[in-house]
Chain A
């Protein structure tokens, strides 16, 4: 099954008393945040990362783009950790720098051009090779490709689906918890829960 949900659900709920003040503030700030000028990534790195992320999670929402590169750049600028890293990986900042460089090496080795210049089918093949841990390129010796893929994709997904627009896409309205949830069983929806449109 492929489910689709109406647009605007979370944004509408943020205007109501169904969310707490703390929730409204946090989500509204995220929703309205302007696109970030990267300060950790160099312009060419940011461009390459954007090309990669556009394949990992293609964005086509007319309501706007979620600035995933901005979220990652902000974290790396502040050198913030999420509490752990694979011992086989270099420190997060180095891992991103090296992984980006290595991705372009793989693109050139496989298809003769940098990643962003490749047609999407070839970009996807490069990403498949990285995910499988078998991409060509000398720099991958410093950063394990499959772990790089996993970490990058997990962070991408976190940035996308913590954003109100990403949450609208999957029909999530759990933030509207002030009235409490009294219908907790199967197929038992409350009025504020969006129905799929298929």
Chain B
């Protein structure tokens, strides 16, 4: 059962943040018998009671401290990119869980751009298998792309929805292969270790604003209950402000705010898992782990162009798991004039999200907008999720403006490079062809970049990277980072499954080397 440690105890490890990067390793360290405490800025929600099926009412799931979005293609945050709460951004992730393909990890070798990963596909794949079975991923028995799998998905795919059927229809017409997608949501109820029964997906299409039945495999219903059952202590609503270094250069204490009170917890190791903006922000504020000068650099955001259309068919885009159908035929297109590639996904959408996107980019307003809004039930979309290269001009820094807590706001610079423009143009053409073949009218494009990646890059060389392949800081030996910030390249897939895999790997490497690391 969950423990409670005193501030005078020196715990083995503090885990900061309980999202995709923090929760799996929290469970792993606790299971190994370590004294671990998780500090999470947000609340521990009870979804049945606390989650209305209402987008505005669910605003509480987003990290709403203001960030400044700069560059030619400013990246939106809040509901678009960052979560708060026990479970982090997995509380509102859409639950797409594709695996990377081996060549995703070696853009430098294959194309001469970006950097290669310091770990191999096989090292990651064993964790994929473990995670898919533990959290519950529903997917097809034969997935058409990527290397052979050890086992098929633990559960059959979720029922297809209207957008998925249209994507199948359009892709078939233009000669692109599709498959039902893998989603981290349960197609049948099942027992979850440390928690109890989890219900099957209600097909309510609301994943991006939180699952109120526990069907979505977010961290709060998977690795967090496991961690608690293995003895971890979870302190929610604890906002970390300082990592205190002692004279030997190790972090000896973590300082946080709880109910307006400052508290200090002594520790032997720190796992920083606060996400790709808050992690570098904490390091910068504490002037830590940055001898490479790379903290905050290499910021990446997936190419994520969406193509929307109106169809004669009644679709009701709020029904069914949003990411119903996938294709990876565009992983390495024959006619590509760019490095890397992308995948294609069908998208269901909640009304406020769709209509606000339309407000920002379709150009309509007044009566014309209202008419287009009344077509909501006939709307379906497809999008890409594509690689993004690291550039010098894309980075995060601290600004002079202070947020509500009196801490400098982060400013994030983002501009798509030539490679992203070419990939997006390629995808724009293909997706329009697919949607036209499927019967879409009034097609329009929503330009976007998704996911926040890469601000504390991992690699072999301490001069050019912030952490090594195990997530350990080159500068501060008892500091590890596990979240989306360590990715050396963006990858042509949604990130969460790979973040979880790296999280388990970091824990296992830590446990294996613990003696050498001298506790």
| Chain A interfacial positions (CB closer than 8 Å to B) | 1-5, 19-23, 25-27, 30, 55-58, 79-88, 91, 124, 127, 131, 150, 153-154, 156-158, 161-162, 167, 169-172, 174-175, 177, 180-189, 193, 196
Residue pair B160, A184 in contact (C-beta under 8 Å): yes
A121 to chain B, nearest CB (A): 11
CB atoms of A171 and B376 under 8 A apart: yes
Cβ of B370 within 8 Å of any chain A Cβ, yes or no, is: yes
A58 touches B373 (CB 8 A): no
On whether the beta carbons of A20 and B52 are closer than 8 Å, the reply is: yes
- Chain B residue contacts of A27, Cβ below 8 A: 52, 54
Note all chain B residues with C-beta closer than 8 A to A57: 365-366, 369-370
Tell me how far the C-beta of B269 lies from the nearest C-beta in chain A, rounded to whole angstroms.
31
A106 to B118, alpha carbons, bound, how many Å?
57
The 7 closest A-B pairs by CB, nearest first: A83-B78, A174-B318, A87-B70, A84-B77, A180-B202, A184-B320, A26-B52
Question: For this complex, into which size category does the number of interface residues on chain B fall?
Answer: 35 or more
Quick check: is B106 within 8 A (CB to CB) of the other chain? no
What A residues does B53 contact at CB under 8 A?
19-20, 22-23, 174-175, 177
Establish whether residues A22 and B69, one from each chain, have CB atoms under 8 Å apart when the complex forms: no
Question: Within the assembled complex, what's the spacing in Å between the Cα atoms of A184 and B205?
Answer: 10
B360 in contact with A170 (CB, 8 Å): no
- Do B160 and A185 touch (CB < 8 A)? yes
B435 contacts chain A at the CB level, 8 A cutoff: no
**Smallest Cβ-Cβ distance to A55: which chain B residue:** B366
For B79, give its contact among A20, A83, A150 (CB under 8 Å). A83
Say how far A128's CB is from chain B's closest CB, in angstroms.
Answer: 9
Find chain A residues with CB under 8 A from B68 CB: 84-87
Q: How far is the CA of A22 from the CA of B47 in the complex (A)?
A: 10
The CA-CA distance from A126 to B157 in the complex, in Å, is: 51
B residues with CB within 8 A of A = 48-57, 59, 62-70, 74-82, 159-162, 165-166, 202-206, 212, 310, 312-316, 318-320, 350-352, 355-356, 358-360, 363, 365-367, 369-371, 373-378, 401, 404, 411
The smallest C-beta distance from A19 to any residue of chain B, in angstroms, reads 7
* Closest-CB distance, A73 to chain B (whole angstroms): 16
Q: Do A162 and B318 touch across chains, with their CB atoms under 8 A apart?
A: no
Chain A hits for B315, CB < 8 A: 186
Task: With A162-B352, A174-B351 as known contacts, state yes or no: A84 contacts B76, CB within 8 Å.
Answer: yes
B78 and A172 contact, CB distance less than 8 A: no
B67 & A83 in contact (Cβ 8 Å cutoff): yes
B366 with A26: CB separation less than 8 A: no
Given A1-B375, A82-B78, A185-B161, A174:B206 Cβ within 8 A = yes
Q: Contact: B165 with A186, CB < 8 Å?
A: yes
| Interchain CB contact under 8 A, B314 and A85 | no
The residues of B that contact A19 with a CB separation of less than 8 Å are: 53
| Structural contact, B360 and A26, CB atoms closer than 8 A | no
12 contacts between A and B (CB under 8 A): A19-B53, A21-B49, A81-B66, A83-B78, A86-B68, A150-B360, A154-B359, A157-B355, A158-B352, A181-B320, A183-B319, A186-B314
Report how far A169 CA is from B374 CA in the complex, Å.
Answer: 7
List 13 extra interface pairs beyond A57-B365, A187-B313, CB under 8 A.
A2-B374, A22-B212, A26-B54, A30-B56, A56-B366, A82-B79, A84-B78, A124-B366, A150-B360, A170-B374, A174-B205, A181-B203, A185-B161
Question: Cβ of B378 and Cβ of A172 under 8 Å apart?
Answer: no
Q: Is the CB of B316 within 8 A of A167?
A: no
Q: Could you tell me if A186 and B351 are in contact, using CB atoms closer than 8 angstroms?
A: no
Residues of B close to A91: CB separation below 8 A: 401
Q: Verify A23–B52 contact, CB threshold 8 A.
A: yes
Chain A proximity of B181: nearest CB distance (Å) = 14
Distance (whole angstroms) from the CB of B62 to the closest CB of chain A:
6
Write the nearest CB–CB distance from B175 to chain A, whole angstroms: 22
Determine the chain B residues whose CB is within 8 A of the CB of A81 once the complex forms. 64-66, 78, 404
Taking CB atoms, residues of chain A closer than 8 Å to B316 are: 174, 189, 193
Whether B69 pairs with A86 at a CB distance below 8 angstroms is yes
List A contacts of B51 (CB < 8 A).
Answer: 22
Shortest B499–chain A CB gap in Å is 20
Q: Nearest Cβ in chain A — how far from B374, in angstroms?
A: 5
Query: Are A162 and B54 within 8 A (Cβ)?
Result: yes
**Minimal beta-carbon separation of B273 from chain A (angstroms):** 19
Give the residue among B162, B204, B316 with the most A Cβ atoms within 10 A: B316
Cβ distance B443 to chain A, nearest Cβ, rounded Å: 15
Chain B, Cβ-Cβ closest to A193: B316
Q: Write out the residue numbers on chain B whose beta carbons fall within 8 Å of the beta carbon of A85.
A: 66, 68-69
Q: Please measure, in the bound complex, the distance between the C-alpha atom of A124 and the C-alpha atom of B314, giving whole angstroms.
A: 33
On whether the beta carbons of A153 and B375 are closer than 8 Å, the reply is: no
Whether the pair B204, A169 counts as a contact (CB closer than 8 A) is: no
User: Do B378 and A3 touch (CB < 8 A)?
Assistant: yes
Question: Which residues in A have their C-beta under 8 angstroms from that of B49?
Answer: 21-22
Bound: A108/B355 CA distance, A: 32
CB distance from B407 to the nearest CB of A (A): 14
> A155 CB to closest chain B CB, in angstroms?
8
Q: With a CB–CB cut-off of 8 A, which chain B residues contact A180?
A: 202-204
Interface centre among A91, A184, A185, A196 (most CB of B within 10 A): A184
Selected from B64, B67, B80, B313, the residue in CB contact (under 8 A) with A80 is B64
Kindly list chain A residues whose C-beta atoms are within 8 Å of the C-beta of B367: 58
A55 to B170, CA, bound (A): 38
Q: Which residues of B contact A156 (CB under 8 A)?
A: 359
Name the A residues within 8 Å of B371 (CB-CB): 2
Known contacts A154-B356, A185-B165: A174-B350 contact under CB 8 Å? yes
A58 to B161, CA, bound (A): 33
CB-nearest residue of chain A relative to B373? A170
CB distance from A31 to the nearest CB of B (A): 12
B residues less than 8 Å from A157 (CB atoms): 352, 355-356, 358-359, 369
